[in-house]
Structure 1
Amino acid sequence: MERNGVLLWIFGFAIVVCGNQETLQQPPISAKLPSLINMNNDFAFHLYKRVIELPDYQSKNIFFSPFSVSMALSELSLGAGGDTKQQLLSGIGYNSTIFSTEEMHQLFHSLLEDISNRTGVDIDVGTALYASDRFKPHSKFLEDMKEFYHSDGFTVDFRVKETVDQINNYAKKKTQGKINQAVDNLEDDTLMFLLTYIYFKGKWDKPFKPEKTRESTFHIDDKTTVTVQMMHQYERLKVFYDAELSTKVLCLDYKDSFSMFLAVPDDKMEQKNIKDLEMTVSRQHVEKWKRSAFKKTVDIYVPKLSLKTSYSLKDILKGMGMADIFSDKANFTGVSEEKIFVSKVLHKATLDIDEQGTTAAAVTGVSMRVRLHNPLSILKFNRPFMIFITDQTNDNILFFGKVVNPNEKL
């Protein structure tokens, strides 16, 4: 029997995916929410480390939304069965001893509800499901997508160009114009297109003063430099020195309990560089930074940024054990009676940082406050560094990345 393609698209703070079916009870088992957050954040680091294994990304900026990707794969599991479902659940780090799959979907719903009630920042997370007018998804799958993932639903003809325009206009609207082109084209035999998106715009709790921004040098590596617009503050801010990682950490708060962590290897420790940091850092380190950061009057220098990234995640997800969804072994009987498989998984992301705040669209130890060279008196992010945008109320990593060259263009 002929098999038909389903496009799984994950885009920068917008995502494209495919669905799943399950019988679920109503919301939340709030005591288990931290376990879902841990699952999502562990997935974030596993995905990141798969990305940096690829030669094309080892010396480039990386920025993505692990929350968008894990949510998309969770949605996909709603319609999966057999080994396909097990691979998806294992790939995102699901542990049946902690919560059931029904509870997992309820907890995602709870997270989305909480995000939708935030007022201090501009944040929007959601899903759009486009189904071919020649394709009949199960009503149960559509109902679950709507109930648990706030999915919008559209019936379209993938054979006409207007459908691509419709999807791109939707993505542009939901990401406030940050992602104008979610998809370039679609095959005529596409039966379903699942788009998940996240848009975040936050203003700094303590804004930078534009008149203090100056041209400065950013060191891409020992031999290469670029000129950037470097913002400056001399302010009482939250900082931490991670002795285990030989890394300086700065926490910049937004309004309404969101924060950005910037982590740069200590330039006084010559044997440490960004590659050492990105291979070693984990969820537990970010949790430690949140617990251990303390307020100190410091000089900080942070480059203005405007990044765009784009990824095809098909081979990466295969490498994480989710291979069947892309083959004739795919079991999506919870989506439809037709035999379907995922043809693509795409992710696009954008990040803008300036004096007022950040706009992004599309994831224990030793506290050492004193060192001989006083590493926290000045924090200069003038070398490759890592970025994490987190929800401080629950530690959810919304965005994750590495800046190698602030001037790099997609």
Structure 2
Amino acid sequence: MLNLKLWLLFAGLFTLATCATEPVKQQSHLPFLKISFYNCDFASRFYHQIASEEPEKNIFFSPISITTAFACLSLGAKSTTLSQILSGLGFNQTKISEQEIHKGFRHLLQMLNRPEAEIELSLGNALFTHDQYKLLKKFLNDAKHFYHAEVLPTNFKKPEEAVKQINNYIEKKTHGKLIDVVKQLDPKVVVVLVNYIFFKAYWKNPFNYESTQKDDFFVDEQTTVQVPMMNKDSNFNYYHDEELSCQVVHLPYKGNASALFILPDPGKLKQLEAALGTDALIKWGKSLKQQRLQLFLPRFSLSASYDAEKMLNKLGITDIFTDHADLSGITGARNLKVLKAIHKAFLNVHENGTEAAATTVIEIVPTSLPPQLTFNRPFLLLILDDLTKSTLFVGRVKNPNEEHLQI
């Protein structure tokens, strides 16, 4: 086997979405709904792997970025390598065909990359290919057709220029939020696959900047930090899950997007994490009801970087990183393997919803005091694309003051 190398790079930026609730019967023919449940299942399994590796750290990642990139790569995979990728992504190959998977992602990309005045959301792929190394036309055509992949000739014999080209592309697609993601390239690299996701939205009912005050956040029994705590007295979709010992609040953005913030009862974070999955999300979606609350939520930023190989190996995607890889659908020969799979994500939550310009909002509310819901201890979050029912990002905030994480 020739020692040629392939890089995978997932560049994710600020977003999440809920898993599909039970597919609506009259819409079950829609291709993206056929894969949304599987994407949600992958999100929870990948989260559990990260949480087991770093139990005391913040977590933030984009499952849809990872699944889209690997599904695109599966176009060139054969035999065991192909079955490992699809199984690792959670697809039951007796219930959904390869063609249905690829059609589902094509439809999902069309739905997510929608022009809206109130929300910015884009998800896409790029193949940086060696200008002297030919890939099969079928693979390139399918990558363009199903995954909207841009094919960008790159001279990897000049690694510094190649690194700059890739980083400039990611920086542009993520609107400057992810920079210098690639530090260096192995001299044998011939293909780099990049997936990016960008999301920017404003809260439907923003917080008042003037109401934000410093308050305590209890990282654990020994550690307390001061954080800027936003607050709002309003009606929210809310649910207290007594079985899972947590409280769930739903915050809508302008446009077809929203966020779930999940606060476990004291000492119940691990119990909640163990139960995090499709069933819990479906249950919460059905149980949310309007209630007036005085909500206290930290203003915070997170960025995280992961070497995804370790987590993917535990999900059964193994051969692709070894000389046993069969990516002959890319080149026509078994001469490629994946050298690295990197995932990097950034999140900024504040009064307007994102890092957008500040505004002052004056709210008039009744003088009676509603119940308080204060996110002053570790919590989970999801940011949701309501239209496609897709999980775009998942996070755990252990310490809002720790902005950067690298695994």
TM-score, normalised via structure 1 length: 0.89
Relative to 1, partners in 2 of residues 1:29 and 1:104: Cα closer, same or farther, differing over 3 Å? farther
Q: SS of the residue aligned with 2:52?
A: coil
Q: SS of the residue aligned with 1:226?
A: strand
Q: 1:215-294 residue pairs with structure 2 within 5 A?
A: 215-267=214-266, 272-294=267-289
Q: 1:370-409 residue pairs with structure 2 within 5 A?
A: 377-409=371-403
Deviations 1:225-250 (A, max 9, x none): 11111100001111111111110001
Which segments of 5 or more consecutive residues in structure 2 lack a partner in the other structure?
15-26, 357-369
Shift of residue 331, structure 1, vs aligned partner: 0.4
Please say if 1:358 is aligned against 2:350: no
Deviations 1:273-331 (A, max 9, x none): 22221122212211222222111110001101111100001111111111100111100
Identify the residue that residue 86 of structure 1 maps to in structure 2.
Answer: 83
C-alpha separation between the residues in 2 aligned to 1:117 and 1:48?
27
Shift of residue 33, structure 1, vs aligned partner: 3.3
C-alpha separation between the residues in 2 aligned to 1:32 and 1:152?
22
* Residue number among 127, 130, 133 corresponding to 1:132 in the alignment: 130
Please say if 1:333 is aligned against 2:328: yes
Shift of residue 13, structure 1, vs aligned partner: 3.7
Shift of residue 332, structure 1, vs aligned partner: 0.6
Q: SS of the residue aligned with 2:281?
A: helix
Relative to 1, partners in 2 of residues 1:38 and 1:116: Cα closer, same or farther, differing over 3 Å? same
Shift of residue 393, structure 1, vs aligned partner: 2.5
Deviations 1:65-97 (A, max 9, x none): 000011111111110000000100110111223
Identify the residue that residue 113 of structure 2 maps to in structure 1.
Answer: 116
Give the counterpart letter for 1:274 in structure 2: L
C-alpha separation between the residues in 2 aligned to 1:33 and 1:5?
32
Identify the residue that residue 45 of structure 1 maps to in structure 2.
Answer: 44
Please say if 1:204 is aligned against 2:203: yes
Please say if 1:342 is aligned against 2:338: yes
Give the counterpart letter for 1:283 in structure 2: T
Q: SS of the residue aligned with 2:222?
A: coil
Q: SS of the residue aligned with 2:248?
A: strand
- Is the 1:7–1:192 contact (alpha carbons within 8 Å) kept by the matching residues of 2? yes
- Is the 2:87–2:93 contact (alpha carbons within 8 Å) kept by the matching residues of 1? no
Identify the residue that residue 104 of structure 1 maps to in structure 2.
Answer: 101
- Is the 2:298–2:376 contact (alpha carbons within 8 Å) kept by the matching residues of 1? yes
* Residue number among 297, 301, 306 corresponding to 1:302 in the alignment: 297
C-alpha separation between the residues in 2 aligned to 1:359 and 1:47?
27
Deviations 1:90-134 (A, max 9, x none): 101112233211111111111111112241311111001101123
- Is the 2:42–2:63 contact (alpha carbons within 8 Å) kept by the matching residues of 1? yes
Q: 1:125-204 residue pairs with structure 2 within 5 A?
A: 125-160=123-158, 161-204=160-203
Q: SS of the residue aligned with 2:194?
A: strand
Which deviates more from structure 2 when the two are superposed, residues 185-194 or residues 152-161? 152-161
TM-score, normalised via structure 2 length: 0.89
Relative to 1, partners in 2 of residues 1:359 and 1:280: Cα closer, same or farther, differing over 3 Å? farther
* Residue number among 66, 69, 73 corresponding to 1:69 in the alignment: 66
C-alpha separation between the residues in 1 aligned to 2:29 and 2:218?
45
Q: SS of the residue aligned with 2:330?
A: coil
C-alpha separation between the residues in 2 aligned to 1:247 and 1:395?
22
Which segments of 5 or more consecutive residues in structure 1 lack a partner in the other structure?
15-27, 361-375
C-alpha separation between the residues in 2 aligned to 1:99 and 1:118?
30
- Is the 1:241–1:247 contact (alpha carbons within 8 Å) kept by the matching residues of 2? yes
- Is the 1:29–1:107 contact (alpha carbons within 8 Å) kept by the matching residues of 2? no
Equivalent residues, number: 376
C-alpha separation between the residues in 1 aligned to 2:300 and 2:50?
21
Give the counterpart letter for 2:147 in structure 1: Y
C-alpha separation between the residues in 2 aligned to 1:69 and 1:197?
9
- Is the 1:8–1:195 contact (alpha carbons within 8 Å) kept by the matching residues of 2? yes
Which deviates more from structure 2 when the two are superposed, residues 200-209 or residues 88-97? 88-97
C-alpha separation between the residues in 2 aligned to 1:2 and 1:31?
42
Shift of residue 359, structure 1, vs aligned partner: 6.0
- Is the 1:242–1:248 contact (alpha carbons within 8 Å) kept by the matching residues of 2? yes
Using the aligned pairs only, state the percent identity: 37
Q: C-alpha root-mean-square deviation of aligned residues, in Å?
A: 1.7
Deviations 1:170-193 (A, max 9, x none): 111110111012211111110100
- Is the 2:31–2:103 contact (alpha carbons within 8 Å) kept by the matching residues of 1? no
Shift of residue 29, structure 1, vs aligned partner: 7.8
C-alpha separation between the residues in 1 aligned to 2:256 and 2:95?
27
C-alpha separation between the residues in 2 aligned to 1:6 and 1:300?
47
Give the counterpart letter for 1:286 in structure 2: L
Give the counterpart letter for 2:354 in structure 1: T
